[in-house]
Structure 1
Amino acid sequence: MTSGVTNNEKSAASSSTEEEVPSATAGEIDEGRLFLKLDWRLLPIVTLLYLWSFLDRTNIGNAKIAGLTEDLHLEGLQYNICAAVFFVSYFAFEVPSNMALKKVRPNLWLAFIMFLWGIIMLSMAFVKSYRDLVVVRFFLGVAEAGLLPGATFYLSQWYPRRFYAQRMGLFISASTMAGAFGGILAFAIQKMAGIRNLGGWSWIFLLEGLATVVIAGFGFLLMPDYPEKAKFLSAAERDYLLDLLAKDSAGLSKKFELKFFWQALGDYNSYLHSLLFLTTVIPAYCFALFVPTIIKGLGFSSAKAQLMSTPPYIFASLVIIAVTRMSDKTKMRGPYILGIALVGIIGYAIWYATKSATAGYVAAFLACAGTFGNIALVLSWAGSNTGGDLKRSVVLALVIGLGNLGGICSSFVFRPQDAPRFHPGHATAIGCICITFVTALFMSWNYRRLNATKEKELAELKEGDASVFAYMGDASPHYRYLI
């Protein structure tokens, strides 16, 4: 907007966040074909990057039952500390990394940090002691910190909010497929134990680290820059997309100014989204880090536990894709988060109560879907309800950073002395998912209230310089929250 706010402009702005289509090129562009083109160009490479990042941060769980703890003589909570230290550095570097992403080309920045953590993963194959493993895991967190918030922000720059959750679902389903793929891969790789005098766990780190370095190169070559420079789109398609994105953001500023950083830190909704993600991540990481151990505790061998950890992840991937698609169609996030949370509570409750191997394995499917199923919804809700590019990049990094501190908690709640039932761990997961449910319920109500307040403000708004709203972020009366 560049002129005074008229009544017609108020009406247009109030509906622009969801349904408005650029009129100048609407007759020339097939929107479905345009977004299909984006999907094929963006999602495969971004999904591959995240799949491998999740695989590299959680493969320590597979390495654990492939001889890691025995060869390094880990005792007591030493394995848990090695798992947890990753999340300390991961949290510390997420916001700086996402701010750097605003200044550096995404293909260059994301490929660079992936190359770094690939080298670090390679070095994990040769650690000789508990201290070595702690140090390497710390630096793995430094390098990986920018991938998830960076990729989440990157996709938000290409897709309007009514298309965003489904794409996030496809993207986040990579983490569940990483769990499925990781179990099969670890099962095969650990059979290399003894080759070159390396343990099976060393080969897991070595081969997956080499693959990470190679994939980083593909990321640099294949990932497009932001839409303004999208050479794979025609000029008409690019103009249409940019117009659609501008209207979806209610004309909010895309500038790099520190005022937007402070807006992000001063918005209480940033911390509500962080709490929501924190209580989603804790049970999810509990599952990722310990599901081979939990399944082994049901009475199965280590090798069979590796393989049996795969099907629940595949099931969860299908759930993620289905619920995020419905979320976009209905333009709602909160109600689906509530439903998925209930599934997770049931899964962990069965794990807590049963001694049956069959019931315990069925619970693995529910626990996986009920935790990983909400990650895409929670992140897309945060991205959809944060206005302005820099504020969104900071909020997403803050949400993911604070949320991933839950990985520290997850690393300690399944203690060796609690095997094989792990009651404290399952109880912790249930408690976290209950907090997720209550928080999502409050946020849905609060966003309805805020939207109603904005409607009143817009109705009372007098004519004036509308450019001031560009700097208000999602507090602008023209911006509407998704519930």
Structure 2
Amino acid sequence: MADEKAMSGNHENLKLALEDATQYAGHGQAATDQYGRALFEFDRKAESRLRWKMDLYLLPTVAVIYLFCFIDRANIGNAKLAGFDTDLNLKGYDYNHVLSVFYISYIIFEIPCNLCCKWMGPGWFLPLSTLLFGVTSVATAFVDTIHQASGVRFVLGIFEAGMLPGIAYYLSRWYRRSELAFRLALYIVMAPLAGAFGGLLASAILTLDRFGSLHNWRMIFAIEGIVTIGLALISFLTLTDRPETARWLSQEEKDLAIARLKSERIGTTEVLDKIDTTKLLRGIFSPVTLATSFIFLLNNITVQGLAFFAPTIVRTIYPDAGVVQQQLHTVPPYAVGAFFTVLFPFLSWRWDRRMTFFIAGPPLMMTGYIMFLASTDAHVRYGATFLIASGAFAFGALCNAHVSNNVVSDTARSAAIGTNVMFGNIGGLISTWSFLEFDAPDYHIGNGLNLATSSMCLILSALLWAWMNWDNKKRDAKDIDQELAGLSQTQIQDLDWRNPAFKWRP
């Protein structure tokens, strides 16, 4: 145990804390005892300086590339307002079919892409994925039929499948469990900001007469895709794969970064393990992973529904406004949603709680959908979109942090995050059929569905929270020494969340 005075923060004790970090950062050396208690404490000032440095070097790049990931996915909603469906002669449910194709590949490739991210390393995988979906976005500008549009959307789903879980997994290589949700929020907030910024950008692009030989909605896909390609090329230079390879960290800071993570992972002797089937299955089939993933599925019906249909909903509320004005009306609800996307995970970091905010978000969404169903007044329904966005968008950060925090090994974490996002994208697929043309302008089916899913989010979150507390009490009663007797270090590590000393973190 490090000297308790190491927390005082003077130079001598800071050096002691870093020397301890060096000892416990080494391969084959655990940083916890068999009961899950950290073997020493870190100097808080040293941790704070390291955290600020990681924030500065890591978060801007992943935030911007995720912004354009979401824009390149959701700009089809803005393109629809500018004549995408008319020029491609889409009728009936054709637009919904085009949206659905994206999610088929997105769901299928979710877990494989996240395992590829672990195998290749996020520092290469994320920039390469960004480059490829940027090229695909440009290709969308040249489609002329529903079949061509469906083809490029399917390919876009493949290249974007690894982005949300890949970035979440990438940041879990750097941050403590209590810190992770807020850092995830700082890039996931780009989803609602993409709705706001995407509307502004689409409005600005549509004021142009032409872009080369392209007109109208084709300019949106081409210009935004080219920007994405440029960002991908930059990110090849700016993304650092893991603490050990960070040229902007001193050796002492690298050791501290590694030891911090080890000190929270019971029985772990190395932060980055090799892909292991047992740990892979532990991550996928953890009860917390499965329950959280289903909650994320329900929530994502709302999040992706807003992304694809907010411009259409706004058009029904303000039918007499011009196209550019309709685009601009989609911006304020997303801006408010972005605020709550950061606020909830920030409080989660400070209180080291996530389930509290699983409970806080759904009532906002439920109130918004009740307003949609109960009123036909334009101002009331527009106000409802603010409440819905406020409650919905924070779940991306909270759910990914929750599944990451409730497994131990790096392999299990990669699989758990991939599973969570895969389930979420099943919700996205459902969302493409939640607002149907025959149900316009009031969309009773879509709003009723979302009221039901947000209500289920609240109920399931309360049940999951109760179960985690109940199971933790059962674990407290176990004889850890007896349970682990005769097991090798490798066998103990393979237990992951089944280790009797492991505690769920609500």
| TM-score band, normalised by shorter chain | over 0.9
Are 1:283 and 2:307 counterparts?
no
Residue 218 of structure 1: aligned partner: 234
1:191 positional shift: 2.4
Are 1:387 and 2:408 counterparts?
yes
Q: Cα distance 1:100–1:310, how it changes in 2: closer, same or farther (>3 A)? A: same
Match of 1:246 among 239, 245, 262: 262
SS in 2 for 1:413: coil
Q: Cα distance 1:193–1:279, how it changes in 2: closer, same or farther (>3 A)? A: farther
CA distance in structure 1 between the partners assigned to 2:48 and 2:498 by the alignment: 31
Are 1:378 and 2:378 counterparts?
no
Contact map agreement 1:101 1:150 (CA 8 A) in 2: yes
1:201 positional shift: 0.8
Q: Cα distance 1:195–1:234, how it changes in 2: closer, same or farther (>3 A)? A: closer
CA distance in structure 2 between the partners assigned to 1:450 and 1:249 by the alignment: 19
SS in 2 for 1:63: helix
CA distance in structure 2 between the partners assigned to 1:9 and 1:120 by the alignment: 49
CA distance in structure 1 between the partners assigned to 2:71 and 2:210 by the alignment: 23
CA distance in structure 2 between the partners assigned to 1:379 and 1:101 by the alignment: 16
Residue 427 of structure 1: aligned partner: 448
Residue 263 of structure 1: aligned partner: 282
Match of 2:313 among 291, 294, 314: 294
Q: Mean alpha-carbon deviation: is it higher for 42-51 or for 98-107? A: 98-107
Are 1:470 and 2:493 counterparts?
yes
Match of 1:99 among 106, 115, 118: 115
Q: Mean alpha-carbon deviation: is it higher for 268-277 or for 108-117? A: 268-277
CA distance in structure 1 between the partners assigned to 2:353 and 2:488 by the alignment: 28
1:313 positional shift: 1.1
Contact map agreement 1:341 1:374 (CA 8 A) in 2: no
1:27 positional shift: 4.7
1:364 positional shift: 1.0
Q: Which has the higher contact order (CA 8 A, sep 6+)?
A: 1
CA distance in structure 2 between the partners assigned to 1:380 and 1:366 by the alignment: 23
Q: Mean alpha-carbon deviation: is it higher for 44-53 or for 267-276? A: 267-276
Residue 400 of structure 1: aligned partner: 421
Match of 1:146 among 158, 162, 168: 162
Residue 63 of structure 2: aligned partner: 47
1:140 positional shift: 0.5
Q: Mean alpha-carbon deviation: is it higher for 441-450 or for 33-42? A: 441-450
Match of 1:418 among 421, 435, 439: 439
CA distance in structure 1 between the partners assigned to 2:44 and 2:393 by the alignment: 39
Residue 313 of structure 1: aligned partner: 334
Q: Mean alpha-carbon deviation: is it higher for 458-467 or for 381-390? A: 458-467
Residue 169 of structure 1: aligned partner: 185
Read off the aligned partner of 2:451 and give its amino acid letter: I
CA distance in structure 1 between the partners assigned to 2:44 and 2:87 by the alignment: 64
Residue 68 of structure 1: aligned partner: 84
CA distance in structure 2 between the partners assigned to 1:461 and 1:193 by the alignment: 75
1:458 positional shift: 4.6
Unaligned runs of 5+ in 1: none
Q: Mean alpha-carbon deviation: is it higher for 58-67 or for 197-206? A: 197-206
Are 1:121 and 2:132 counterparts?
no
Q: Cα distance 1:231–1:29, how it changes in 2: closer, same or farther (>3 A)? A: farther
Contact map agreement 1:115 1:213 (CA 8 A) in 2: yes
Deviations along 1:426-482, one digit per CA (max 9) or x if unpaired, are 111111111111111111111112222222225564765562321111221232221
Deviations along 1:258-281, one digit per CA (max 9) or x if unpaired, are 222222344333321220110010
Read off the aligned partner of 2:340 and give its amino acid letter: V
Residue 437 of structure 1: aligned partner: 458
SS in 2 for 1:192: coil
Read off the aligned partner of 2:69 and give its amino acid letter: S
SS in 1 for 2:189: helix
1:194 positional shift: 5.2
Read off the aligned partner of 2:492 and give its amino acid letter: F
Deviations along 1:214-247, one digit per CA (max 9) or x if unpaired, are 1111111100111122221111111112111001
Q: Cα distance 1:297–1:221, how it changes in 2: closer, same or farther (>3 A)? A: same
Contact map agreement 2:36 2:267 (CA 8 A) in 1: no
Match of 1:364 among 382, 385, 402: 385
CA distance in structure 1 between the partners assigned to 2:151 and 2:88 by the alignment: 14
CA distance in structure 2 between the partners assigned to 1:466 and 1:318 by the alignment: 48
Deviations along 1:178-237, one digit per CA (max 9) or x if unpaired, are 111001011111223555553311000000110111111111110011112222111111
Deviations along 1:122-158, one digit per CA (max 9) or x if unpaired, are 1100100111101110110011111111101011110
CA distance in structure 2 between the partners assigned to 1:380 and 1:354 by the alignment: 37
Residue 481 of structure 1: aligned partner: 504
Q: Cα distance 1:386–1:75, how it changes in 2: closer, same or farther (>3 A)? A: same
Q: Cα distance 1:283–1:28, how it changes in 2: closer, same or farther (>3 A)? A: closer
Q: Mean alpha-carbon deviation: is it higher for 330-339 or for 145-154? A: 330-339
1:76 positional shift: 0.4
The percentage of aligned residue pairs carrying the same residue is 30
Read off the aligned partner of 2:283 and give its amino acid letter: A
Match of 1:111 among 127, 138, 143: 127
Contact map agreement 1:350 1:360 (CA 8 A) in 2: yes
SS in 1 for 2:396: helix
Deviations along 1:282-320, one digit per CA (max 9) or x if unpaired, are 011111111111111012423212101111111111112
Read off the aligned partner of 1:443 and give its amino acid letter: L
Residue 454 of structure 1: aligned partner: 475
CA distance in structure 1 between the partners assigned to 2:209 and 2:359 by the alignment: 44
Residue 80 of structure 1: aligned partner: 96
Instruction: Give the TM-score normalised by the residue count of structure 2.
Output: 0.89
Match of 1:344 among 349, 358, 365: 365
Instruction: Give the TM-score normalised by the residue count of structure 1.
Output: 0.93
Contact map agreement 2:299 2:457 (CA 8 A) in 1: yes
CA distance in structure 1 between the partners assigned to 2:286 and 2:297 by the alignment: 17
Contact map agreement 2:288 2:406 (CA 8 A) in 1: no
CA distance in structure 2 between the partners assigned to 1:15 and 1:344 by the alignment: 39
